[in-house]
């Protein structure tokens, strides 16, 4: 995927302030539902492009902040499946009777509901925990 082209426009406004003479926007960018569009402004073409880049970076940072705030607790990682201690991962209650070679099957294990594993709750992992591990 290539970077989008930047379109620049020059329009000297009938005011003494020149900081809005140049504008820059991404080619193909269209206004959102609120009629807003990411446009950079400046006294020069370069300033307008730099302002557009600043707006893009601010939007990316805000999106990243919202993502991390929404996923602060990694819900999928706060539960683990471990071997069921009651049935020894068989998923069945097997009872060996004296004098018999094969154990009797007394149905599914009530503790693991026949899966052979139990779901245990662990402490939630937060983004800070992962960042600390990366720094070490």
Regarding whether 90 and 44 lie in a shared domain, the answer is no
Question: What is the residue range of 17's domain?
Answer: 6-70
Instruction: Give the 3-state secondary structure of the chain.
Output: CCCCCEEEEECCCCCCCCCCCEEEEECCCCCCCCCCCCCEEECCHHHHHHHHHHHHHHHHHHHHHHHHHHCCECHHHCEEEEECCCCCCCCEEEECCCCCCCCEEEEECCCCCCCCEEEEECCCCEHHHHHHHHHC
Q: Which residue has the higher pLDDT, 128 or 57?
A: 57
Regarding whether 104 and 51 lie in a shared domain, the answer is no
Regarding whether 92 and 66 lie in a shared domain, the answer is no
Please indicate, yes or no, if residue 35 is contained in any of the structural domains: yes
pTM: 0.50
List pLDDT tens digits, range 102-117.
788 888 888 877 777 7
List pLDDT tens digits, range 30-47.
887 777 889 999 999 999
CATH of the domain at 102: 2.10.230
List pLDDT tens digits, range 68-97.
776 565 455 566 677 888 887 778 888 887
Please indicate, yes or no, if residue 98 is contained in any of the structural domains: yes
Indicate the residue among 21, 52, 70 that finishes a domain: 70
């Amino acid at each position: 995927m290539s970077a989008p082209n930047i379109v620049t426009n020059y329009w000297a406004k009938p005011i003494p302030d020149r900081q809005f003479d140049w504008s820059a926007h991404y080619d193909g960018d269209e206004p959102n539902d609120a009629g807003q569009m990411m446009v950079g402004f400046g006294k020069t073409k370069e300033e307008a492009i730099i302002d557009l880049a600043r707006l893009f970076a601010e939007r990316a940072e805000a999106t990243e902040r919202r993502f991390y705030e929404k996923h602060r607790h990694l819900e999928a990682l706060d539960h683990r499946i471990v071997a069921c201690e009651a049935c020894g991962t068989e998923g069945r209650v097997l009872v060996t009777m004296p004098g018999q070679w094969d154990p009797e099957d007394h149905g599914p294990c009530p503790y693991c509901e026949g899966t052979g594993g139990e779901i245990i709750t662990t402490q939630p992992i937060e983004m800070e925990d992962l960042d600390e591990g990366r720094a070490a």
